[in-house]
Structure 1
Amino acid sequence: MTEDDKSVFRSILDHISGMDYIKPEDLPNIDLYMDQVTTFMEDQLASTKRHEDDKILTKTMINNYAKNNLLPSPEKKRYSKDHLLMLIFIYYFKNILSITDIQKLLGPITEKYFKGEPGKDMTYVYNEVFGMENRKIDQLIKNVLKDYRFSSATFQDADEEDQEFLKRFSFICLMSFDVYIKKMIIEKMIDDISPAEDKSSKKTKEK
C-alpha cells in the first residue's frame, strides 16, 4: 500500500488504541431527563462517531428502545444510572444485531440485574464486560496488523495501476469476512438462549 494508505492506517490504529469505555464512576449520581441523557452520551461516546455530524442517541431512538422493550421506561421522565448502562450496551449492539436479537439478549439481564442489589446490579455486569473488552484492544490491534500485512502481499501480478486499490479491497474483504463469521457465531448463540433465560423478555412484553 502507498505511504498515504499506511499513514491513514496508523492513524486508525492510534485512534483505536486511544478509545476508552465509559466508566461507571463517570456516570452522573443523579437521575437525568431525556435531554441530559442525549447530551451525556454524545459527549462520552463522541470518539466512536464516523462523521462529525453523526448522532450517538436521539430522543426518538430512546423512545423506540423503550417501546420495543429494550429499555425499561423512565421513572417520572428521569433515567437512572442503570438506564444509562443499558443504553451503552444497546448503542454497541445495534450496529450488528437486530432489535429482536438485542431484546432476547438483554431481556434476562434486565430481569435480574436492572435495579438489582448492590454487587449484583447493572454496574456489576457492565464492569465485568467492558473491563474485558478494554483489555482486548491490544490483541485486536495485533490481529488487524496481521491481516494488513497479509493483504498487502496479495495481487502482486495485477496491473501496476490497479495494485493499490486491489490490496485495499483485499484487506477490506478480509476484515469483512472476520466480522461476518463472528456475527454468525453471535446470532447462533442468541438463537440458542434457552426458554428459561428468555422468559424475562416475554415478561417485559406483557407489562
Structure 2
Amino acid sequence: MGNKYNREILDLIRSIQDIDYILPKDIPNIELYMDQITTFMDEHLQSSKRFADDKILTKTMINNYTKNNLLPPSNKKKYSKEHMILLIFIYYFKNFLSINDIKSILNPITKDCFQNQEDINFDRIYQEIFNIELDNIDVQIRDIIRKLNRSNETFADIEDEEKRNMLTNFSFICMLSFDIWVKKYVIENIIDHKLNPTAGKENNKN
C-alpha cells in the first residue's frame, strides 16, 4: 500500500511537467473581443483546472479587473496582446494574493510598459519571465520530491499502515503549505516595503 501510494504521489508530482503554459509565441498579436479572450485562456490552461467545469477567466472577472484599475480599459471592446499578458499574470497571482497586492505588483509595470514599443515592452517581459519559470520547473519538482521523502520518514513508528499513510500525507501537505506561506510572506514584505512602502507603514499602525 505504501509503495503504491508513493508511486501515485510521484506520478502526480512529475505531472507538473505536463501542465499547460501559454507560450509567448501563442499569444495572439491582434486585438480580441472579450469572448475570444476567455475562450483562448480556457483552451490553453485546461490542465490548470481543478474541476472540469471551472472557469479560467470570465467576462465578469475581466470587468472587475478593469473596474478595480488592475487592467487598462479596452479599445472599443477590443483587447490587445498587452491586455492578454496582464490577464495571464493576474490569473497566476490571484491564487495566493489579494487584488490590492496584485495591483501593487502590476501597476508600475503597466504604467511604464503598457503599449510601449521600446526595448522594455510587454513582449520582452513575458518572454523573460516565461523563460526563468520554465527553467525552474525541474528545481521545483526535485524540491517537492525531497519533501515527499522527508515526510515519509515521519511517523515511521506507527505500525498501522493506513494511519501512517494518513499522517505522512498530512506531514507532506504541511511541508508544502509552509513553503507557500514563507514565499507569500516574502512577497508581501516586498510589496509593503519596496513596491508600496506607504501602505506598509499604514498597515503597521493598525
Q: Structure 1 length as normaliser, TM-score?
A: 0.90
Instruction: State how far apart, in whole Å, the 2-side matches of 1:128 and 1:120 are.
Output: 11
SS at 1:29 equivalent: coil
**How far did 1:5 drift?**
2.0
Q: Which amino acid aligns with 1:42?
A: D
Q: Which amino acid aligns with 1:67?
A: K
- What corresponds to 1:163 in structure 2? 164
- Aligned in 2, Cα 1:153/1:195: closer, same or farther, shift over 3 Å? closer
8 Å contact kept, 1:21–1:134: no
- What corresponds to 1:60 in structure 2? 60
**How far did 1:4 drift?**
3.5
Alignment size in residue pairs: 198
Could you say what the CA RMSD is over the residues aligned between the two structures, in angstroms?
Answer: 1.8
8 Å contact kept, 2:10–2:145: no
- What corresponds to 1:174 in structure 2? 175
Q: Which amino acid aligns with 1:54?
A: D
Instruction: State how far apart, in whole Å, the 2-side matches of 1:193 and 1:183 are.
Output: 15
8 Å contact kept, 2:105–2:195: no
- What corresponds to 1:14 in structure 2? 14
Instruction: State how far apart, in whole Å, the 2-side matches of 1:86 and 1:194 are.
Output: 18
The unaligned stretches of length 5 or more in structure 2 are: 200-206
Instruction: State how far apart, in whole Å, the 1-side matches of 2:14 and 2:196 are.
Output: 43
Instruction: State how far apart, in whole Å, the 2-side matches of 1:4 and 1:55 are.
Output: 33
- Aligned in 2, Cα 1:147/1:167: closer, same or farther, shift over 3 Å? same
- What corresponds to 1:185 in structure 2? 186
Query: Which range moves more in the overlay, 185-194 or 131-140?
Result: 185-194
Q: Structure 2 length as normaliser, TM-score?
A: 0.90
Instruction: State how far apart, in whole Å, the 2-side matches of 1:126 and 1:94 are.
Output: 17
* Identical positions, percent: 48
- Equivalent residues in 2 for 1:34-183, closer than 5 Å: 34-160=34-160, 161-183=162-184
8 Å contact kept, 2:104–2:195: no
**How far did 1:118 drift?**
4.1
8 Å contact kept, 1:104–1:190: yes
- What corresponds to 1:203 in structure 2? none
Cα offsets for 1:91-135 (capped at 9, x unmatched):
000001001100111110000111011432111111111210111
The unaligned stretches of length 5 or more in structure 1 are: 199-207
Q: Which amino acid aligns with 2:58?
A: T
Q: Which amino acid aligns with 1:76?
A: K
**How far did 1:17 drift?**
1.2
8 Å contact kept, 1:20–1:134: no
